[in-house]
């Protein structure tokens, strides 16, 4: 029998959740001593959350269009 997947209804948007996560990681990093491995890992996770928010914003932008076909991509590269 297949396992039932748990469903979650989020009250905040994906971008809001990423921003909150980045803030939490930065606050936790401030509590660590400067130069410690834990601090660096927390700051890395904060940057990853910020980058994910930027990528998601870029993907949702109206100017983004999928390529029409593979042949068009090849001809554009040769120009």
CA distance 21 to 52: 11
* Whole-angstrom distance, CA of residue 3 vs CA of residue 13: 27
pLDDT at 55: 86
Residue-wise pLDDT for 20-79, tens only, equals 999 999 999 999 999 999 999 999 999 999 999 988 888 888 876 665 665 555 555 555
pTM, rounded to two decimals: 0.68
pLDDT of residue 67: 57
Q: Per-domain residue ranges for the chain?
A: 14-78
């Amino acid at each position: 029998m297949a396992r039932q997947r748990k469903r979650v209804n989020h009250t905040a948007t994906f971008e809001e959740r990423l921003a909150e996560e980045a803030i939490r990681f930065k606050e936790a990093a401030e509590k660590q001593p400067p130069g410690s491995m834990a601090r660096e890992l927390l700051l890395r996770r904060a940057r990853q959350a910020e980058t994910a928010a930027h990528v998601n914003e870029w993907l949702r932008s109206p100017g983004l269009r999928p390529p029409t076909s593979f042949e068009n991509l090849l001809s554009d590269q040769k120009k």
